[in-house]
């Protein structure tokens, strides 16, 4: 049995979406953020880091496999589903691995820096001006990639697209995407129209970034 420990308005929405795409049965255990937007301490009972998403895979014998980190969970689910939502040929595999890790390793840290800067009085706007060019570099790179093909890892939808959804949804929701990046906007519209995305959104509850 697969159990997703799901936090509202978080990266764990991607795992709900992936499970719907794969058609894997799962249970959702819900947690709500504290008033300061931190995760509740109850998550620490599942994993010491107390972060979401957390995936539990409970076998028929009761053995528990606990996986954290969204990219690692995606890898685990692709393997569990016999390669579905994985890459196609060798070229696609390179792109797949790159974007599977790029989402959290490169783009999200810059977005988080922007978010933190926006909370700082007086000096915040100065910090944002310094960080914005870094974000623009990433967004321009992404736009060029999506202008040359429909999906991040080639001609078919993969877990790499699922991983890239959260940072690009967050960028658009916070007004950082801009109107000129039409390929990225078209990609967001494509993923939001996928039936599995819509079902996962209904199951996951309020999600501020699906705009």
The pLDDT of residue 211 is 59
Selected residue with higher pLDDT from 38 and 139 = 139
Identify the CA nearest to 170 among candidates 148, 142, 194, 195. Answer: 142
Helix (H) or strand (E) segment spanning residue 108: helix 108-118
Name, of 38-42, 176-180, 190-194, the range with top average pLDDT: 190-194
pLDDT the model gives residue 69: 95
Q: Which pLDDT belongs to residue 115?
A: 82
Q: What element of type H or E holds 162? A: helix 159-173
pLDDT of residue 40: 85
pLDDT of residue 103: 97
C-alpha closest to that of 196 among 28, 14, 57, 26 = 14
Percentage of residues in the chain having pLDDT higher than 70: 99
How many CB atoms sit inside 10 A of residue 149's CB?
A: 15
Topology of the domain covering 2-84+196-204: Glutaredoxin (3.40.30)
Is residue 166 within 8 A of residue 17, CB to CB? The reply is: no
Distance of CA 28 to the CA centre of its chain: 17
Give me the pLDDT at residue 77, please: 98
Question: Mind listing the pLDDT tens digit for each residue in 136-181?
Answer: 999 999 999 999 999 999 999 999 999 999 999 999 988 888 888 9
State yes or no: pLDDT of 100 exceeds 90: yes
Structure tokens at 116: 């933190």
- List the domain boundaries for the chain: 2-84+196-204, 90-194
Percent of the chain with pLDDT over 90: 69
Checking if the pLDDT of 64 tops 80, the result is: yes
Mean pLDDT for all residues in the chain: 92
Q: Which residue do the tokens 């599942």 mark?
A: 46
pLDDT category at 210 given cuts 50, 70, 90 is: low
Which strand (E) or helix (H) includes residue 76?
A: helix 70-80
Fold match flag (2-84+196-204 vs 90-194): no
Give the pLDDT score at 188: 97
Q: State the Cα–Cα distance between residues 96 and 30, nearest whole angstrom.
A: 30
Written as six digits, the tokens of 57 are 């895979």
**What is the average pLDDT across 34-57?**
89
**Between 58 and 123, residue with greater pLDDT:** 58
Q: What are phi and psi of 66, to 5 degrees?
A: -110, 125
**Domain 90-194 in this protein, CATH class:** mainly alpha
């Amino acid at each position: 049995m697969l159990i997703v420990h799901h936090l509202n308005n978080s990266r764990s929405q991607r795992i709900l979406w992936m499970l719907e795409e794969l058609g894997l049965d799962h249970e959702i255990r819900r947690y709500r953020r504290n008033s300061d937007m931190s995760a509740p301490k109850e998550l620490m009972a599942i994993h010491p880091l107390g972060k979401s998403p957390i995936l539990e895979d409970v076998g028929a014998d009761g053995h528990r496999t606990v996986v954290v980190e969204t990219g690692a969970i995606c890898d685990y689910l692709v393997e569990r589903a016999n390669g579905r939502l994985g890459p196609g040929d060798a070229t696609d595999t390179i792109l797949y691995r790159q974007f599977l890790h790029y989402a959290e390793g490169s783009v999200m840290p810059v977005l988080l820096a922007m978010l933190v800067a926006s909370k700082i009085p007086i000096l915040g706007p100065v910090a944002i001006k310094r960080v914005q060019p870094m974000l623009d570099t990433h967004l321009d790179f992404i736009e060029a990639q999506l202008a040359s093909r429909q999906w991040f890892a080639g001609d078919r939808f993969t877990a790499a697209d699922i991983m890239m959804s959260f940072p690009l949804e967050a960028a658009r929701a916070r007004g950082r995407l801009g109107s000129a990046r039409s390929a990225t906007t078209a990609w967001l519209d494509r993923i939001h129209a996928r039936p599995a995305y819509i079902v996962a959104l209904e199951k996951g509850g309020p999600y501020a970034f699906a705009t």
